[in-house]
Structure 1
Amino acid sequence: MPEMTNRVAVVTGAASGIGLATALALAREGAAVALLSRPDDDLAGAQELVQRHGGPVLTVGADVGNSAAVRAAFDRVESELGPIDAVHNNAGISIVSPLTETTDELFDTLVRTNLAGSFYVLREAARVMQPRRSGAIVNTASELAIMGQAGYVAYTATKGAILAMTRSAAAELASWGIRVNSVCPGTTKTPMFLAEFDGVADPEAELADNAASVAMHRIAEPSEIGEAVVFLLSHRASYITGTHLTADGGRTTCVPAGSIGVSAQ
């Protein structure tokens, strides 16, 4: 029997990238999936794709930075699909900006979506799961939550906070039978990541340099991150909570072969 059969899962930021990949993986594993994304995102296209791989799919247009919209979205999912068992708290944005050029508006935008939005989703997930004393939540952080990179000071502030929030929520919710973990993706071929190369003189060369900084010498596919999330949401991870799974091809922990010591094969 597929791992997520008879379970209801919610994925935020589900119209593309890692969120869509997670939704596809959940559907293949038998889950009924609610796709949450901003109202102007291509939710219809995402729904059509996910429906080819599994059972019921519900789309909900909601801005995670609006707490009332998040609460209404969770209530709608419970009403139409049933009790929520699993949540991938994934919606987020990236803004590349030097520290001294990061305006209050840019910082506030990142905080509202990445941090406040993640908090609102986490809070609603806990609210609906606590009465049933079960559930699993995975928050999307980033490899930049545990390493630094120029141009991402504000972004890393939000992603580092997600790791701290994950640990505290896991401690608080463990006695309710609810597990909370984070996934820290490395560079991944998502529309958000590729958009960062808009306007670069030689995007292919920049992408190659990025891949060269990874021990596995390549950039991740969204499906590889989605599978990691499904593992953390599944019963296979039943004794894992309060931690983060770094899916970055070794970038934060390994020196790429050939850069020092033994040459690459």
Structure 2
Amino acid sequence: MKGRTALVTGASSGIGRATALLLAREGAAVALVALPGAELDRAAEECRAAGARVLPLPADVADSAAVADAFSRAEALGPVDAVFNNAGISMVVPVTETTDEQWHRQLQVNLTGSFFVARQAARVMAPRRRGAIVSTASELALTGQAGYVAYTATKGGILAMTRALAAELAASGVRVNAVCPGAIDTPLLRAEFDTADDPAAERAENERSIVLGRLGRPEEIAQTVLFLLSDDAAYVTGAHYVVDGGRTGCFPVGSLARPQEDGGEQA
């Protein structure tokens, strides 16, 4: 990523923070977009310590004017040609108890905010005929889970938007892809566990549902994002990469077929 300028949203925590740091270590100048606060400042310091030029940009991605301003200010680092469209929130609520405000806020941040970021990225990248955008969807864009109706709707929308953007921007030399993380050990997920009657049991139950038997690490998602933003993925667009320890693709439990006495097999 040497010589590249990357903009990362949701950069103060979890996957966004890990990805910003990895991009910095790989030589990119990095603009960190997140809600204002001490964590954004600390994330910026981590990236500076990696030797990168860094610009923290406090902004709410649900505000289109703030998104446009963040891109404009990021150009001080150089032409933005790599965007990790990652900011998002999650509220675990049964559908019958989901309020209008909870629905709209998740829609505004996760889907509308992602659209604002992708639209602005297209506006600056397409005229230059170079760039890559990666958006964060979720394993829940591919499978359902109780309590996540609103969240799942937003993440499914991100996958659909990714495919349409990839088709529209291909002629302009801009690639668009998505990453679908599974259960990743982030402050957001830990906060969800903490709402359970027994957080440790809730975590253990999640781990049992994953073929690899553990939660993912933010750094593992960051590696996939790095690949998709880099020229190593020059022939990849309109795709979604599932990084979930096998949870959506495999049964987490089961037994191997055993030979029967007649030489057949039983499952």
Conservation of the 8 A alpha-carbon contact between 1:88 and 1:137: yes
What is the deviation of 1:203? 1.2
| Aligned partner (choices 27, 30, 40) of residue 27 of structure 2 | 30
Q: Establish whether residue 260 from structure 1 lines up as the match of residue 254 from structure 2.
A: yes
Alignment of 1:185-264 (within 5 A): 185-256=181-252, 259-262=253-256
Deviation readout 1:140-163 (Å, 9 max, x if unpaired): 000000000000000000000000
Taking structure 1 as the reference length, the TM-score comes to 0.95
Distance in 2 of aligned mates of 1:39 and 1:48: 14
| Aligned partner (choices 59, 62, 76) of residue 62 of structure 1 | 59
Stretches of structure 1 that go unaligned for 5 or more consecutive residues are none
Give the letter aligned to residue 256 of structure 2: V
Q: Greater shift after overlay, 96-105 or 44-53?
A: 44-53
Give the letter aligned to residue 178 of structure 1: V
Q: Establish whether residue 39 from structure 1 lines up as the match of residue 33 from structure 2.
A: no
Q: Establish whether residue 87 from structure 1 lines up as the match of residue 101 from structure 2.
A: no
Deviation readout 1:85-124 (Å, 9 max, x if unpaired): 1000000000000011011110000001001000000000
Determine the structure 2 residue equivalent to 1:49. Answer: 46
Give the letter aligned to residue 186 of structure 1: G
Conservation of the 8 A alpha-carbon contact between 1:96 and 1:151: yes
SS of residue paired to 1:137: strand
Q: Greater shift after overlay, 234-243 or 35-44?
A: 35-44
Q: Establish whether residue 12 from structure 1 lines up as the match of residue 6 from structure 2.
A: no
Distance in 1 of aligned mates of 2:148 and 2:98: 10
Determine the structure 1 residue equivalent to 2:92. Answer: 96
What is the deviation of 1:41? 5.6
Distance in 2 of aligned mates of 1:26 and 1:42: 18
What is the deviation of 1:49? 1.1
What is the deviation of 1:82? 1.1
Give the letter aligned to residue 120 of structure 2: E
Q: Residues 168 and 199 of structure 1: is their aligned pair in 2 closer, same or farther, counting only changes over 3 Å? A: closer
Deviation readout 1:177-227 (Å, 9 max, x if unpaired): 000000000000111111002242321111111011001000001000011
Distance in 1 of aligned mates of 2:170 and 2:195: 46
Determine the structure 1 residue equivalent to 2:70. Answer: 73
Distance in 2 of aligned mates of 1:6 and 1:197: 40
Distance in 2 of aligned mates of 1:173 and 1:236: 19
Distance in 2 of aligned mates of 1:213 and 1:54: 39
Question: Which stretches of structure 1, 4 residues or more, deviate above 4 A after TM superposition?
Answer: none
Alignment of 1:123-162 (within 5 A): 123-162=119-158
Q: Residues 191 and 158 of structure 1: is their aligned pair in 2 closer, same or farther, counting only changes over 3 Å? A: same
Distance in 2 of aligned mates of 1:220 and 1:196: 15
Conservation of the 8 A alpha-carbon contact between 1:213 and 1:251: yes
Stretches of structure 2 that go unaligned for 5 or more consecutive residues are 258-267
Distance in 1 of aligned mates of 2:239 and 2:217: 23
Q: Greater shift after overlay, 91-100 or 41-50?
A: 41-50
When the two chains are superposed, the root-mean-square deviation of aligned CA atoms in Å is 1.0
What is the deviation of 1:253? 0.2
User: Aligned pair count?
Assistant: 257
Distance in 2 of aligned mates of 1:177 and 1:169: 12
Determine the structure 2 residue equivalent to 1:183. Answer: 179
